[in-house]
Amino acid sequence: MKKGSRIVAFLLLVVLLFAGMGLTYKKVVKDVNLGLDLQGGFEVLYQVNPLQKGDKVDDKAVKATAKTLENRVNVLGVSEPKIQVEDKNRIRVQLAGVKNQSQARDILSSQANLTIRDANDHVMLTGKDLKQGSAKQEFKQNTNQPAVTFKVKDSDKFRKVTEKISKKRENMMVVWLDYEKGDSYHKEKKKEENHKKPKYVSAASVDKPINSDSVEISGNFNGEEGVKKAKQIADLLNSGSLPVDLKEIYSNSVGAQFGQDALNKTVFASLIGIAAIYLFMIGFYRLPGLVATIALTAYIYLTLLAFNFISGVLTLPGLAALVLGVGMAVDANIIMYERIKDELKIGRTLKQAYKKANKSSFLTIVDAQLTTVIAAAVLFFFGESSVKGFATMLLLGILMIFVTAVFLSRGLLSLLVSSNFFKKSKWLFGVNKKNVHDINEGKDVHDLKTPYERINFMKLAKPLLSLSVLILLVGTIILFIFKLNLGIDFSSGTRVDFDSKDQVSDKKVTKVLEQKDFKPDQVSIGGNGKQGTVQFKKDLSKDEVSKVKSTIKDEFGKDPSVNTVSPVIGQELAKNAMLALAYAAIGIILYVTFRFEWRMGLASILSLLHDAFMIVAVFSLFRLEVDITFIAAVLTIIGYSINDTIVTFDRVRENLRKVKVITDKSQIDDIVNRSIRQTMTRSITTVLTVVIVVIALLILGASSIFNFSLALLIGLISGVFSSVFVAVPLWGIMKKRQLKKSDNNKLVVHKKKKSNDEKILV
């Protein structure tokens, strides 16, 4: 009865879990807030400067400007706009899903500084003379043509102005919006005569004084566009003029179709990668692998649910972080499953093996995940936009790993184990009967033979370390000669990414842009000839961006993604990236030193620097572009590589506890070799599961995260190498030196305290 009840409880829990997810997953997915790169939209960062010389911009002026921008965004009808006041007098505006991005840009940046001037451009009235909120769009009774009307505060003043204008030879009352120095009525009139759009809003002749407080602007609003223009002007006047000058220092504009394509490709790649992980886990670990797939499915669902709860914005790198988290959740399961297999091999019963593995693997998992938290936290505090989204998803993912991979997975496995239904079926836990010892033999898990017994890792370490040093030296020379191919995030400029309906060549793209007076500095074509990237070394103005977008869309059929970064932002991003790497390294070395010993901390950081520099060297050699997501990839690898190193050092610590005193260097070699051999299967299987996902993202994912995925792949392979052949052997070398310098060539590894707890001496 007990046996059956535990199995029934397991099945009931699984059914309830999947029923709950199945009934609500559509709502969860629907509620996910997609970022600009996944649904299209517009993001701009403004530097708030004084409008006139001598003016000062204080917090009050910046907040007032943000409020005005918010009023203008409401006019656009964008759902959930995001307007943030940032340090250094900056305002970031994010409008996901906005349909007419050019209109949004114009409305946001227009000063709404209305002036009424004569034909010689002398100011007669300003926006201060308007009644606040009086502007509205109307249609003239006779012609049904759109017009804008507004009221002035002082009708007597308006009568005097119109009287003065009526007496002039050119009796024109010219209405300007955002008049700039150098603008001229006569110059703009010539444009109008040549059927071109003038900069002024309207110009009307005044034959006699107007005895009214109402002003009408008409005559320049033709067709459907004219109706929209009239409404836009009325809304702008009512939203108020900006008391400051706004300068664009960063912008990102993504076409809706471009975003949708990127989302579809990356989701498809993610599903392929996750499905491959599921098959691998079930095939390699069997029954525990099945439990892991249940927990991993819950992990994805709960992470998205939590992400919605905090109103997170899902970006492409964020989606990659979710999928990467699946690999990390797999790792938490693998650590425990490998422990169960070891305990079963020495002859323990299934219940005993589960209990022992549960206890011994918990702290290893905590140590491994907390080091990744350090890297993710640094990304969160130093990152912007999509990088912050990546860090948020990574941090949430780590939290959900404890909920699912630690508690849910263990709870479900506990029901299966305690049912006694599988107590004689050790093959279901990936253990071959011929490898199982009798418990009476007194074997310990540390005495078990592994498939890697013939490999002397400590002996191989020296030549491989030398090879690594050589590679790093060559990498340094390559970096010195070629330098890094810095993207616009760090070097400033404008980048245009687009998809084409038909195949294109770089010559064709260049020719199309040059016909519109744009000279690109670099054009590259990928994606079977249907994806293009154009780069300009200068940051294009908003009008130039609008022109480039319309040119690309008209010629190649799809709205592109345009990213513009000013030199100021480029320098700041580069500085923040360096600080992020430094802080992550310091945080990790402090944590490892606290949890283990300083030699392990130092060896860990040296191996991390090895991994980071390896990625940098490859990107430099092959001239791959380095952007802000590259830094996210490097920091992720730092967190992931230290994860692998921590697991191996945890075994080193366990093996050290079996030794009371070290008197010979061969003992240190033995500890290093045994520790690496015992964790080698876990290292390979863990990195293999993550590599599967990354390769899927690399081949099938969106082109915009290709370099990000490639950096992850290089780092993952380098990370396994450095954990096995750099970090742990380096610790062994330093430990030998400690032994050499010790009294009587004797190293006390641990000693008993009064509480009978063991403590490793550093």
Q: Residue 89 belongs to a domain with what CATH number?
A: 3.30.70.3400
Mean pLDDT of 428-445: 84
Looking at residue 297, its pLDDT comes to: 94
Output the average pLDDT for the chain. Answer: 83
**Closest to 348 (Cα-Cα) out of 337, 359, 338, 356:** 356
pLDDT at residue 262 tops 50:
yes
Q: Which amino acid is at 660?
A: K
**Closest to 300 (Cα-Cα) out of 280, 273, 279:** 273
745 vs 14, more confident: 14
CA–CA separation, 572 and 576 (whole Å): 6
CA–CA separation, 668 and 661 (whole Å): 11
CB 100 within 8 Å of CB 224: no
Looking at residue 58, its pLDDT comes to: 80
- pLDDT tens digits, residue range 271-328? 998 899 899 999 989 999 999 999 999 999 999 999 999 888 888 788 878 877 887 7
> Tokens standing for 554?
């008209």
Residue 206 belongs to some domain of the structure? yes
Q: Are strands 33-34 and 313-314 parallel, antiparallel or unpaired?
A: parallel
Measured from the Cβ of residue 668, the count of other Cβ atoms closer than 10 Å reads 23
pLDDT at residue 762 tops 50:
no
Residue 410 belongs to some domain of the structure? yes
Residue 84 belongs to some domain of the structure? yes
Q: What is the CA radius of gyration of the chain?
A: 33
Looking at residue 510, its pLDDT comes to: 92
> Tokens standing for 280?
């691998």
Q: Do residues 63 and 202 both lie within one domain? A: no
CA–CA separation, 442 and 117 (whole Å): 100
> Tokens standing for 363?
């702290």
Among residues 254, 289, 312, the one where a domain terminates is 254
Q: Do residues 211 and 328 both lie within one domain? A: no
Residue 453 belongs to some domain of the structure? no
Q: Do residues 104 and 126 both lie within one domain? A: no
Looking at residue 437, its pLDDT comes to: 86
CA–CA separation, 137 and 229 (whole Å): 10
Q: Do residues 680 and 734 both lie within one domain? A: yes
- pLDDT tens digits, residue range 686-697? 888 888 888 988
pTM of the model: 0.76
**Closest to 103 (Cα-Cα) out of 135, 73, 79:** 73
Looking at residue 676, its pLDDT comes to: 93
Looking at residue 596, its pLDDT comes to: 79
Q: Strand pairing partners for 204? A: 173
Q: CA triplet 360, 366, 368: central angle to 5 degrees?
A: 100
Please compute, for residue 393, the number of CA atoms within 13 A of its CA located in the half-sphere on the CB side. 30
pLDDT at residue 759 tops 80:
no
Residue 471 belongs to some domain of the structure? yes
Burial of 297 (0-12, 13-18, 19+ CB in 10 A): middle
331 vs 757, more confident: 331
Residue 182 belongs to some domain of the structure? yes
Q: Do residues 585 and 666 both lie within one domain? A: yes
- Count, in order, helices (H) and strands (E) of the chain: 23, 23
Mean pLDDT of 507-520: 91
Q: Which amino acid is at 9?
A: A
CA–CA separation, 678 and 458 (whole Å): 14
213 vs 347, more confident: 347
**Interacting residues of 375 by C-beta distance below 8 A, sequence separation 6+:** 584, 588, 635, 636, 638, 639, 642
Q: Do residues 473 and 498 both lie within one domain? A: no
> Tokens standing for 736?
């030998």
Buried b (16+ CB within 10 A) or exposed e, 125-158: bebebbeeebbbbeeeeeeebbbbbbbbeeeeeb
> Tokens standing for 176?
């300007």
Cα–Cα distances (Å) from 206 to 118, 165, 203, 209, 210, in that order, read 10, 7, 10, 7, 8
Q: Do residues 738 and 590 both lie within one domain? A: yes
Residue 380 belongs to some domain of the structure? yes
Q: Do residues 267 and 250 both lie within one domain? A: no
Helices (H), 346-456: 350-382, 386-401, 409-418
- pLDDT tens digits, residue range 659-680? 878 888 899 999 999 999 999 9
**What string of H, E and C letters represents the secondary structure of 123-146?**
EEEEHHHECCCCCEEEECCCCCCE
Long-range contacts of 552-555 (CB under 8 A, 24+ apart): 552/496, 552/498, 552/512, 553/255, 555/512
**Closest to 91 (Cα-Cα) out of 41, 44, 35, 42:** 44
Q: Do residues 86 and 233 both lie within one domain? A: no
Q: Residue 748 belongs to a domain with what CATH number?
A: 1.20.1640.10
Which of these ranges, 19-23, 417-421, 592-596, has the smallest mean pLDDT? 592-596
| Band of pLDDT at residue 3, cut at 50, 70 and 90 | low
Residue 446 belongs to some domain of the structure? no
- pLDDT tens digits, residue range 354-376? 999 988 888 888 877 887 888 78
Backbone dihedral angles phi then psi of residue 535, each to the nearest 5 degrees = -125, 140
Measured from the Cβ of residue 227, the count of other Cβ atoms closer than 10 Å reads 15
Domain that holds residue 324: 2-35+257-421
Q: Do residues 653 and 517 both lie within one domain? A: no
| Band of pLDDT at residue 408, cut at 50, 70 and 90 | very high
Looking at residue 447, its pLDDT comes to: 77
Q: Do residues 143 and 24 both lie within one domain? A: no
Cα–Cα distances (Å) from 107 to 232, 321, 521, 731, in that order, read 8, 35, 30, 61
Among residues 200, 228, 254, the one where a domain terminates is 254
Q: At what angle do helices 728-741 and 628-657 cross, to 10 degrees?
A: 50
pLDDT at residue 111 tops 70:
no
**Closest to 676 (Cα-Cα) out of 638, 612, 731, 715:** 731
**Closest to 291 (Cα-Cα) out of 353, 334, 342:** 334
Mean pLDDT of 492-506: 87
Looking at residue 245, its pLDDT comes to: 80
% of the chain exceeding 70 in pLDDT: 94
- pLDDT tens digits, residue range 215-246? 777 766 677 777 777 777 777 667 666 767 88
Q: Residue 542 belongs to a domain with what CATH number?
A: 3.30.70
- pLDDT tens digits, residue range 522-546? 888 876 788 888 999 888 888 888 8
CB 672 within 8 Å of CB 728: yes
Q: How many domains does the chain divide into? A: 5
Q: Do residues 751 and 622 both lie within one domain? A: yes
How far out from the chain centre does Cα 78 lie?
A: 23
Q: Residue 180 belongs to a domain with what CATH number?
A: 3.30.1360.200
Looking at residue 17, its pLDDT comes to: 95
